[in-house]
Amino acid sequence: DAGITQSPRHKVTETGTPVTLRCHQTENHRYMYWYRQDPGHGLRLIHYSYGVKDTDKGEVSDGYSVSRSKTEDFLLTLESATSSQTSVYFCAIRREAEQYFGPGTRLTVT
Amino acid sequence: KNQVEQSPQSLIILEGKNCTLQCNYTVSPFSNLRWYKQDTGRGPVSLTIMTFSENTKSNGRYTATLDADTKQSSLHITASQLSDSASYICVVYSGGSYIPTFGRGTSLIVHP
């Protein structure tokens, strides 16, 4: 257990609405990541952070933005949700050269 | 481009039987390879880590192998149990990078 929590755990929202997912860690790790997981695609990196206010894009960053104003929190925002963003979202931290994952957030965009 | 390919995509076996999952990678420079287990509805959890100099490593009924020359790894599960039903993901970490490369996973179902 790497002390990672994600909120909410489940969310249903309508197309066009903004959505923010939160990842919280308790161990002050520098690196944090957001992934999405879809059948047939596996885990794909959306954005990652290497420190407070330091973020970079992953392979599937279009339509997503992130913010990290505190070491312990990494927020993922969908400015205007689309049905293609229906997925399971995982947050991860890097500890001792390995990634540890949170429990996931299941997001459904109707 | 770094890639990790896993086979088979899915596998169904009977409880008590053995099985082997495969992982081929083209990641450079190689640092280490990990096998993760992901139970339904949960995040992935690391099972084993293989570094360049290691050929075989066991974790209970799980045995991972690594052939760094052919860039292949396998995960062998012995005497399968119902609780082994999960997705198994091969992940390769590259030296100097903080972003690993993920395979798409093998879905294993163990039937009683």
pLDDT the model gives residue A103: 95
Distance CA B59, CA B46 (A): 11
Looking at beta carbons, which residues of chain A come within 8 Å of B5?
A: none
User: How close A82 gets to chain B, by Cα (Å)?
Assistant: 23
> CA angle B95-B96-B99, nearest 5°?
90
Distance CA A13, CA A78 (A): 11
- CA distances from residue A47 to A34, A91, A101, B30 in whole angstroms, order as listed: 6, 10, 14, 23
- Please return the burial class of A63, using the count of CB atoms within 10 Å of its CB with bins 0-12, 13-18 and 19+: middle
Distance CA B50, CA B72 (A): 11
For an interface test with B, which of A5, A56, A88, A98 has the most B Cβ atoms less than 10 Å from its Cβ? A98
Judged by a CB distance cut-off of 8 A, whether residue B49 touches chain A is yes
pLDDT the model gives residue B87: 97
Peptide bond into B29 cis (omega under 30): yes
pLDDT the model gives residue B51: 86
pLDDT the model gives residue B96: 77
Q: In A, residues 72-91, which contact B (CB 8 Å cutoff)?
A: 90
pLDDT the model gives residue A62: 96
- CA distances from residue B46 to A61, A98, B20 in whole angstroms, order as listed: 26, 9, 17
Mean pLDDT confidence for A16-30: 96
Question: Mean pLDDT across chain A, nearest whole number?
Answer: 95
Give B50-88 as a 3 state SS string. Answer: EECCCCEEEECCEEEEEECCCCEEEEEECCCCHHHCEEE
Residue A46 has pLDDT above 70, yes or no: yes
Query: B46 and A98: CB-CB below 8 Å?
Result: yes
> CA angle A15-A21-A26, nearest 5°?
175
Distance CA B36, CA B105 (A): 9
Q: What percent of chain A has pLDDT over 90?
A: 90
**Closest partner residue to B104 among A42, A58, A90, by Cβ?**
A42
- Cβ–Cβ < 8 Å for A47, A64: yes
- Cα first-last separation, chain A: 33
For an interface test with B, which of A25, A33, A43, A94 has the most B Cβ atoms less than 10 Å from its Cβ? A43
pLDDT the model gives residue A1: 61
Query: A104 and B34: CB-CB below 8 Å?
Result: no
Judged by a CB distance cut-off of 8 A, whether residue B34 touches chain A is yes
For an interface test with A, which of B7, B99, B106, B107 has the most A Cβ atoms less than 10 Å from its Cβ? B99
pLDDT the model gives residue A97: 79
Looking at beta carbons, which residues of chain B come within 8 Å of A1?
A: none
pLDDT tier at A8 (50, 70, 90 boundaries)?
very high
Ranges of chain B with pLDDT below 70: none
